[in-house]
Amino acid sequence: MTDGAGYRNHFSPAPDGLMLRARVYGPEVSHRLPAVCLPGLTRNSHDFDRLAHALSTGPGARRVVAVDYRGRGISNRDVDWRKYDVGVETGDVLSQLASLGVAKALFIGTSRGGLITMATAAVAPDMLAGAVLNDIGPVLDRRGLERIRGYVGKLKPPSTWDEAIELLKFTTGGSFTDVTPEDWRAFAEGTWREEDGTLALTYDPALMLSFATMNFDALPDLWPAFEGLRSVPLLAIRGETSDLLSEETLTEMTRRHPRCATLVVPGQGHAPLLRDDAAITRIRAFLDEVDPAA
């Protein structure tokens, strides 16, 4: 189904039958590898709209698949909040890609999407041709985790879009200082949607339950998962003021990965919006290096 916004909605069932949505941009058939965009914890396919248009149009256009996890965007919500889990969501993503006939792709993962990218490298290594990790790594800074836990599923419903933007500025801790009004509006439109004259969250508030039970003092060692990406080219992106991915972790990632390029996005925190021209140009150049046009 085409909605006039330059993408097609693709619906497919998860392994347990829950209906999931993905946005599909660009040509149906292409000799180029598709790009798969995986959003953050409470985010959805809307976040990648500007990047997806840039990658899927013009010379060397490639197909772009941007997913809505269960409970996010317009994918169905799960009655069991325990299934809002990286392992379950990795299986969902692989199922969505299979339904689209995608056997190998370039992955772009923001925050939780980066964790799912690492999980994919473990369970389906042949699926990855290259990866972009947006403000995520094997060590998660506790400051960022505490900040995120403080607002997930707890935001009061804003009355207007201006109020919604102010709420986002508050929840990001003032770490986004170089963002245009247009980008703030797009950020808000990925967080809420208009329903019966009010603004409702685009994610299931029950996500807070899975996050609330997380023990930040006993997080798993993610370096082995990161090592699973060593066989593919990697671009690691960090927001200049990120409170989730530290400079030290980014440096260690480059030391451990033989083909890890980096990009620091100025004036943005966790996670960079990937809407500015510089970030889009760098990501597109990286994908083209991995998968050149014929």
The pLDDT, as a whole number, for residue 1 is 34
Reading the block at residue 12, the tokens are 């497919």
Write the burial class of residue 114 (CB in 10 Å: 0-12 exposed, 13-18 middle, 19+ buried).
buried
> What is the rounded CA–CA span in Å between residue 206 and residue 252?
34
The pLDDT, as a whole number, for residue 69 is 98
CA neighbor of 70 nearest in space, from 117, 11, 134, 128: 11
Superfamily of domain covering 7-141+220-290: Alpha/Beta hydrolase fold, catalytic domain (3.40.50.1820)
* DSSP secondary structure string for all residues of 139-194: S--HHHHHHHHHHTTTPPPPSSHHHHHHHHHHHTTT---S--HHHHHHHHHTTEEE
The pLDDT, as a whole number, for residue 218 is 86
Reading the block at residue 176, the tokens are 């986004």
- pTM equals 0.96
The pLDDT, as a whole number, for residue 219 is 87
The pLDDT, as a whole number, for residue 152 is 85
* pLDDT in single tens digits along all 294 residues of the chain: 334 478 999 999 999 999 999 999 999 888 999 999 999 999 999 999 999 999 999 988 999 999 999 999 999 999 999 999 999 999 999 999 999 999 999 999 999 999 999 999 999 999 999 999 999 999 999 999 999 988 887 878 899 999 999 999 999 988 999 999 999 999 999 999 998 889 999 999 999 998 888 888 888 899 999 999 999 999 999 999 999 999 999 999 999 999 999 999 999 999 999 999 999 999 999 999 999 987
The pLDDT, as a whole number, for residue 2 is 37
Domain boundaries, the chain: 7-141+220-290
